[in-house]
Amino acid sequence: MIEPTQMVEVGSSVTGRIDRVYVKRGDWVKKMQTLATLESDAERAASELAKFKSQQVGPTQMAEGKMEFSKKKLNRRQEMASQKLMALQDSEDTEAEFRLAEAELQVAKENRQIAKLELQQQNSLLNLRTIKSPVEGVVVDQGAFQGEVFELGSNKKFIFKVAEMNPLRVHVILPKHVFGELKHGMEANVTPEIPQGSIYSAKVDMVDRLIDAASGTFIVFLEMPNPKLEIPAGVKCKVVFPELGKK
């Protein structure tokens, strides 16, 4: 049997109403292509607010200006105090003002860094509401539609089901007397029911280590390239291993 490499049920890690759907059953999709989006007005607004906060430079500039002024004032006062033109207490008070200005600048920088981290967090939450395909393949089923609420833990476990069609996986059942003769990477010729008369190359990808006692058989999986998508999945086939000389 020729099968998809994997069948992926694509859903969402958050609950939300499906706002837009971009594909339908039978469509070919690329890896990381957007399939659907959930309603995200609140998350988008929060992201824009976080972006604005992360780009604010006013508090930092104000704190820098205050510190620079305090530094110059401190230098003057220290010079005057050294010449005994000013009381030592006044000089110490000015130094305290300078240290406070330094602390305020540090707080302004930390707040801006926090704003940047909040922006990353909000963008991550927004991205969770975009449903993307984890593989390149064909949409074979749709479990939820535009306007519906996709809820975690509900009976609707997926929004789309995507079958990876390149490469394909060939499920082969072989008699136990050839067990041990097949190795990973061994070549095989595959003749599917559709298209008729065509022969394709495949390689052994996995040999099952368990033999079924009732039937005296074991399973081998082949990997078969399908770049033009001309070979359908779900059809039977015949497999010949040239190195074994047996079907």
* pLDDT tens-digit readout, 73-130: 767 666 666 666 566 566 566 767 777 877 888 888 888 888 888 888 888 888 889 9
**88: its two tokens:** 């030592």
The whole-chain average pLDDT of the chain stands at 85
What share of the chain has pLDDT > 70, as a percent? 89
pTM over 0.85: no
Range of weakest confidence among 54-63, 133-142, 155-164, 174-183: 54-63
CB contact at 8 A, 183 and 169: no
What is the distance between the alpha carbons of residues 193 and 3, in angstroms, rounded to a whole number? Answer: 13
C-alpha dist (Å) from residue 39 to 15, 44, 118, 127, 129: 10, 10, 21, 12, 7
CB contact at 8 A, 159 and 131: yes
Q: What is the pLDDT of residues 213-229, one digit of tens each?
A: 899 999 999 999 998 88
Q: What angle do CA 136, 137, 143 make, to 5 degrees?
A: 115
- Which band of pLDDT confidence, cut at 50, 70 and 90, is reported for residue 168? very high
Output the pLDDT for position 131. Answer: 93
Residue 66 pLDDT > 80: no
Q: What is the DSSP string of the chain?
A: -EEEEEEEEE--SS-EEEEEE---TT-EE-TT-EEEEE--HHHHHHHHHHHHHHH--HHHHHHHHHHHHHHHHHHHHHHHHHTTSS-HHHHHHHHHHHHHHHHHHHHHHHHHHHHHHHHHHHHHHHHTTEEE-SSSEEEEEE---TTPEE-TTSS---SEEEEEEEEEEEEEEEEGGGTTT--TT-EEEEEESSSTT--EEEEEEEE-S--BTTTTEEEEEEEE--TT--SPSS--EEEEBTTTTB-
What is the distance between the alpha carbons of residues 187 and 206, in angstroms, rounded to a whole number? Answer: 13
Output the pLDDT for position 83. Answer: 65
Output the pLDDT for position 40. Answer: 83
What share of the chain has pLDDT > 90, as a percent? 40
Taking alpha carbons only, the member of 163, 127, 126, 160 closest to residue 22 is 160
- Which band of pLDDT confidence, cut at 50, 70 and 90, is reported for residue 163? very high
